[in-house]
């Protein structure tokens, strides 16, 4: 079958963001600039700065709830953040403009979770997640397919995940390229996007291959991505599960998840100023995080503290005592690789068919007192039934 059958909108970005399918669903460019595509041809793709650039398609293409496919090429900038939820490539919300957040429904969001790609559909279907670590500066072909019963995610022509579910597109809410329909800055895409196609049919494996190799393109061996559960040779990243206990005294903080990058360094300074008040401290710092349960969970709590001896004479005013125990999956590495480490651990847990105690248990980050730049990330695992 031709890759043009069932096409409802097409954005090749040949000098503009017009819909080249002939259906007239043209895009409005806000801040994005034309750049070279994956073949090096100028003015054939759009670059997004991760600050304010996006493209809005309103009214949106008339998508079917029975069968749907999305095909897109994307390249992450060398400075793009790959930590936690971010970098929305293409998305549509239901009620994002006119309803309160409690009614917000994610129609679809193709974005990243740490260093992996996710087909996210909050409150509708479990996410389909790639089993690869992204590389910055590399072109990826990404396709999402709904065949009437299952959502499938393909990367560079290969099927990576399948999740059962439904699909309910919105006939009026805009589709965004390079962001999601909220003011969360971290979801502004940082990189280059090209050749977006939306279909009212389920693309076949053969169709996906044809789109990936279109015009003779094929990724060279140095641009292919490694499985997320494969330790990187240059880092020797490994994970493990074992019984652990964490006894700590810490200070509670709260705020927007999107502001954690600013809040946490300030919180650590506050802890440092009060460290002498904590009796029995070991010198090892910890941060305990309330897990983020989804995109509608925008504020959370976390605690900065020290590991302490089992018996504590007194708890300083304004601080709290914690004793956490159980089976924890963990990974350690340099703090500068935090997003990569979280993505690695998530993939390792999934690939080993373990279940996180989520979202009830706090995530624990342990900072090595002898090597301050080294962090160990620990996630509690549910005991098998």
Q: Which of 206, 199, 207, 162 is nearest to 66 (CA)?
A: 199
**Do 185 and 99 meet the contact criterion of CB atoms below 8 Å apart?**
no
Mean pLDDT, residues 116-123 taken together: 77
Pick the CATH number of 7-213 from 2.60.120.200, 1.20.1250.20, 1.50.10.10, 3.20.20.10: 2.60.120.200
Query: Hey, what are 35's tokens?
Result: 């750049």
Domains in the chain: boundaries: 7-213, 239-380
**Secondary element (H or E) of residue 57:** strand 54-57
Give the model's pLDDT for residue 226.
41
Query: Hey, what are 107's tokens?
Result: 């129609």
Question: Which residue stretches of the chain are H helix?
Answer: 205-212, 260-273, 338-351
Q: Which of 7-16, 103-112, 296-305, 371-380 has the lowest mean pLDDT?
A: 103-112
- Determine the Cα–Cα distance for residues 123 and 93; give it in Å rounded to an integer: 12
Q: Which CATH superfamily is domain 239-380 in?
A: Regulatory factor, effector binding domain (3.20.80.10)
Strand, coil or helix: what is 373?
coil
For residue 288, pLDDT beyond 80: yes
Same CATH fold assignment for domains 7-213 and 239-380: no
Maximum mean pLDDT: which of 186-200, 221-235, 368-382: 186-200
- Determine the Cα–Cα distance for residues 212 and 369; give it in Å rounded to an integer: 48
pLDDT tens-digit series, residues 5-59: 999 999 999 999 999 999 999 999 999 999 999 888 899 999 999 889 999 999 9
pLDDT tens-digit series, residues 365-379: 999 877 777 899 999
Give the model's pLDDT for residue 218.
54
**89/220: higher pLDDT:** 89
- Determine the Cα–Cα distance for residues 11 and 71; give it in Å rounded to an integer: 10
- Determine the Cα–Cα distance for residues 341 and 135; give it in Å rounded to an integer: 14
Give the model's pLDDT for residue 251.
96
Query: Hey, what are 241's tokens?
Result: 């599960």
pLDDT tens-digit series, residues 129-165: 888 778 888 899 999 999 989 999 999 999 998 988 8
With cut-offs at 50, 70 and 90, classify the pLDDT of residue 124: low
Q: Which of 284, 231, 242, 228 is nearest to 379 (CA)?
A: 242
pTM: 0.59
* CA torsion through residues 279, 281, 287, 288, sign: negative
CB-count burial class (<10 Å; 0-12, 13-18, 19+) for 110: buried
């Amino acid at each position: 079958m031709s890759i043009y059958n069932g096409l409802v909108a097409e954005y090749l970005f040949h000098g503009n963001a017009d819909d080249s399918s002939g259906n007239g669903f043209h895009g409005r460019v806000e801040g994005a600039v034309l750049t070279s595509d994956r073949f090096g041809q100028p003015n054939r793709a759009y670059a997004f700065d991760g600050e304010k650039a996006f493209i809005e398609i309103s009214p949106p293409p008339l998508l079917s709830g029975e069968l749907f496919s999305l095909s897109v090429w994307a390249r992450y900038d060398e400075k793009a953040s790959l930590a936690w939820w971010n970098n929305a490539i293409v998305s549509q919300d239901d009620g994002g403009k006119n309803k309160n957040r409690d009614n917000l429904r994610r129609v679809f969001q193709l974005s990243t979770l740490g260093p992996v790609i996710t087909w996210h559909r909050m409150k509708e279907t479990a996410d389909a997640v790639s089993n690869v670590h992204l590389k910055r500066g590399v072109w990826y072909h990404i396709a999402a397919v709904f065949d009437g019963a299952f959502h499938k995610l393909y990367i560079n022509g290969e099927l990576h995940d399948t999740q059962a579910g439904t699909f309910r597109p919105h006939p009026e809410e805009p589709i965004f390229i390079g962001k999601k329909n909220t003011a969360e800055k971290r979801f502004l895409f940082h990189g280059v996007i090209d050749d977006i196609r939306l279909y009212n049919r389920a693309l076949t494996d053969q169709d996906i291959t044809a789109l990936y190799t279109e015009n003779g393109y094929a990724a060279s061996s140095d641009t292919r991505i490694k499985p997320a559960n494969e330790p990187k040779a240059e880092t020797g990243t490994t994970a493990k599960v074992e019984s652990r206990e964490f006894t700590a005294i810490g200070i509670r903080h709260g705020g927007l998840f999107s502001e954690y990058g600013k809040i946490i360094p300030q919180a650590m300074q506050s802890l440092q100023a009060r460290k002498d008040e904590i009796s029995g401290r070991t010198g090892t710092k910890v941060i305990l995080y309330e897990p983020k349960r989804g995109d509608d969970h925008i504020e959370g709590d976390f605690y900065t503290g020290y590991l302490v001896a089992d018996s504590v004479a007194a708890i300083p005013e304004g601080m709290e005592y914690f004793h956490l125990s159980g089976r924890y999956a963990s990974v350690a590495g340099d703090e500068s690789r935090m997003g990569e480490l979280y993505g690695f651990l998530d993939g390792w847990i999934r690939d080993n068919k373990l279940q996180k105690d989520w979202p009830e248990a706090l995530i624990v980050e342990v900072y090595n007192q002898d090597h301050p730049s080294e962090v160990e990330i620990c996630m509690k695992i549910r005991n098998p039934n």
